[in-house]
Structure 1
């Protein structure tokens, strides 16, 4: 679980809530028409922009920013070197006994290709294509969050215009001016909060996740192709250490 994402959301809304509570209470900031404009409008145009399969993937994409566990490059290098050592001692077919331990579908597929005897060039092509498609799926998830982050403040502005029109149309009735002003101001607030405290930060987190996963995928491809090519464990380790920052390379055991 990514505690930084949770801490950020709780801290952001907590500090805002404390400021609101200390300045007059939450009742002043609750307006149903404003919520309908921002929430309903954002959802409506979001449905127009994406397909049904994209919508089904929205919740997994959202949860990916919280419930996401990815091995570190150092851990993957250690694992690849273990596989290389096993293949060097007992042959490539011995890797089949380790497939049950592999919980990463991408890594398991690469090992299976090696066991099946595909040439290293074919293994590389298949895995690179798989990595590319995974990257595109992650890009769609990020785009969904970006779109939500753009729609929410846009409907906040639309709500502001609606409120101003209502207010100007009722200048001869001072009692109704307050309602129009509330819609005008609160829709902007709701849209800005949704975009800048939820959707855009989550989009940024998804982009970081995608880059981390792309790095691991590239590392796995190089490691598995090297095993298929018959490279020794020490050579594979030195080759894969180039994926690490110089300061992190010492963490790989000799």
Structure 2
């Protein structure tokens, strides 16, 4: 896995722009209010504790680590590996790839190839790998759901804090000069809720969603390749079929590496 600093850069830049905008019209201290922050952040966190079981929330810190790392998702290299394994199994027999399995590091691919070597039938392999695919999707969706809900709760608790502030302000109108200050304080909770949702929680949920989608697509490619190996498909046919899982850029690179001309429509 490669380190990915883009989420951190985005967060720093976003916060910096907001702070710059706030400092243009007022001192930054005017935008800080302890009770408003407590209501918004810890109130929404309390709602998260109610919404999800403890075992689910325990998995969130591990999922957050994925934000700072890019998974090894080189489908072009995976295509080359599967094609070479198909050629080797076709010329030397399926048992010949047993040593190659030890050099792999993708658990889904390793498991699938082990079942192929063991002589498991195609339908059983497909069923088992699809179950693993669904389990992976379910595990990864946990983090998405938590942060999506947190992104919903934060603005709602910001509004609750604003209502609390307005009620307190309207309950004591003896000094009209304090109305403006009270209104500003009340609105801070709405600001905090919107900021946390749109700068932190929802972007995290989207990042996890995209990583899950990429991993699932890679696993689908692996399943298709493993099933083709077990069926004894022609390596060239298997390669052409698996190329559909590659992006246009990766397909172009693969074609150039093999000396094949790139179609004019793809160069546009």
TM-score scaled by structure 1?
0.91
**Residues 153-162 or 103-112, more deviating:** 103-112
One of 180, 183, 186 as aligned partner of 1:181: 183
Report the equivalent of 2:39: 37
Residue by residue, what CA displacement relative to the aligned partner does 1:186-232 show, whole Å, maximum 9, x if unpaired?
10010000001111122222222222112111110010111111223
**What 5-or-longer segments of structure 2 have no aligned partner?**
259-268
Structure 2 CA distance for partners of 1:163 and 1:128, relative to 1, 3 Å: same
- Number of residue pairs matched by the alignment: 254
Q: Aligned Cα RMSD in Å?
A: 2.0
One of 7, 10, 22 as aligned partner of 1:8: 10
8 A contact 2:39–2:158 mirrored in 1: yes
8 A contact 2:73–2:215 mirrored in 1: no
Report the equivalent of 2:168: 166
What is the Cα deviation at residue 46 of structure 1? 0.1
What is the Cα deviation at residue 19 of structure 1? 2.1
What is the Cα deviation at residue 93 of structure 1? 2.5
8 A contact 1:110–1:224 mirrored in 2: yes
One of 113, 120, 123 as aligned partner of 1:121: 123
8 A contact 1:34–1:187 mirrored in 2: yes
SS of 2:73's equivalent in the other structure is: coil
**What 5-or-longer segments of structure 1 have no aligned partner?**
none
What is the Cα deviation at residue 247 of structure 1? 5.3
Report the equivalent of 1:133: 135
One of 47, 50, 53 as aligned partner of 2:52: 50
Distance 1:42 1:138 in 2: 22
1:205 aligned to 2:215? Answer: no
Report the equivalent of 1:97: 99
